[in-house]
Amino acid sequence: MNLLYFSFFFSLVVISGSAAPYRLSISKIFNVNDYGAVSDGRTDNAKAFQNAWEDACAWDGLRPKVLIPKGKFLVGPLVFKGPCKGREMVVQVKGYVLSQADLNAYKTHDWISFRYINGLLVTGKGLFDGQGAHAWPLNNCLHRRRCKPLPWSLNFSFVSNATIRGITSINSKNVHIQIFASNNINLHSIKLMAPENSPNTDGIHVGESKNISISQSIISTGDDCISIGPGTANLSISGVRCGPGHGISIGSLGGGKDEGDVVGISVRNCTFSDTENGVRIKTWQESPTFSSAYDLVFEELVMNNVDNPIVIDQKYCPHNLCGSKAPSLVKISNVKFRNITGETRTKNAINLVCSDRLPCEDIELSNIDLKYSVAGDFAVASCVNVKGRSFGLMIPPSCI
């Protein structure tokens, strides 16, 4: 028996034998039903959920668990706030959690917010239903940069060492899951669904966060499958099935002042089906300050009927929202597009448009095989301001 194991064993015996066996109790369940939750799908249970969380958070043990049992629970906006006393907070969702449809109930921009928590597991076969259909027609952010956003479903901010696994989120009013200012988060085996024509229902948005992994998940929504904002480092995405939706996107970057760089992103072994884009890096045409995006890898990807499989767009300016035609100040470098196969629905399978001021550098295209879905015609690649190299199989022929 090694020393570490021995001392752990020893302290377990000592503490459980002492008069107050509070420290090493393994788990304790805080069932929302014991806090007066009513699973009739109509009563607002925000208070019961909030109280269950607060007791769990104050419990000084290893794994306090908030249990949402089977049943249909309507809940208004909620904040699950730390820091908590336990080693790892657990939220187990077995039931069907419905968001409040009345938008006046939302004082912040989110429905369920997890904040300031170190050690968190959100799990279960349950489901979060954002009831977005009521709200989507009221989305006024599609053609304006300044607008009142609809609430996002699950917001993880200032959270570290967390696992989010197994859960399903449907019909979010806006983005399904946000990861903001958080570190060491592992999302896997999750399912995010909203209709193809629902506005801004991105699957996961990551920003200002480090060491995040997203794997083995299914995301089919009306907007980006995953979008990656400024200040994201060491994000690995693998085994994700996207579509329909707008694909995986780094950006838009360069829209704000003094944005953090985007560094060390990998997208591997993913499938895109019937999406508007496959993988894309986009930066606003005019940027107030300089920033960079580098060390990015996109490999082992399959494109099934994708409009624009590979895109860099540094002249991003939807609905002519930019004030000027000044070139982007986001420097893009060391980007690898490797082993990407499938079918493109537009002729322009590869479209790399970089900044006039700061050309893209060290861009690699290799082992690409993208066929145009129009019989008898061929896909093409086009490049503007791109430096780099290409090798291996190249269909369409490289433009670098």
Question: By C-beta, is 70 or 87 nearer to ligand NAG?
Answer: 87
Question: By C-beta, is 215 or 249 nearer to ligand NAG?
Answer: 215
User: What is the dihedral sign for C-alpha 143, 278, 330, 204?
Assistant: positive
In the complex, least distance from residue 370 CB atom to ligand NAG, rounded to whole angstroms: 14
In the complex, least distance from residue 19 CB atom to ligand NAG, rounded to whole angstroms: 28
Question: By C-beta, is 54 or 361 nearer to ligand NAG?
Answer: 54
- Residues lying near ligand NAG in the complex (CB under 6 A): 108-110, 113, 115, 118-119, 152, 155, 157-158, 160-161, 178, 180, 183-184, 186, 211, 213, 216, 234, 236, 238-239, 241, 269, 299-300, 339, 367, 392
In the complex, least distance from residue 315 CB atom to ligand NAG, rounded to whole angstroms: 27
In the complex, least distance from residue 284 CB atom to ligand NAG, rounded to whole angstroms: 20
In the complex, least distance from residue 136 CB atom to ligand NAG, rounded to whole angstroms: 16
Structure tokens at 237: 């995405």
Pick the closest to residue 64 from 117, 26, 34 (CA basis): 26
Structure tokens at 148: 């009142």
Question: By C-beta, is 33 or 211 nearer to ligand NAG?
Answer: 211
In the complex, least distance from residue 42 CB atom to ligand NAG, rounded to whole angstroms: 25
Structure tokens at 31: 């069932």
Q: Which of 176, 205, 246, 319 is catalytic?
A: 246
**Whether residue 246 lies in the annotated active site:** yes
Structure tokens at 254: 């360069």
Question: By C-beta, is 286 or 295 nearer to ligand NAG?
Answer: 295
Question: By C-beta, is 336 or 357 nearer to ligand NAG?
Answer: 336
CA trace torsion 157, 158, 164, 167 (10° rounding): -20
Residues annotated as part of the active site: 246
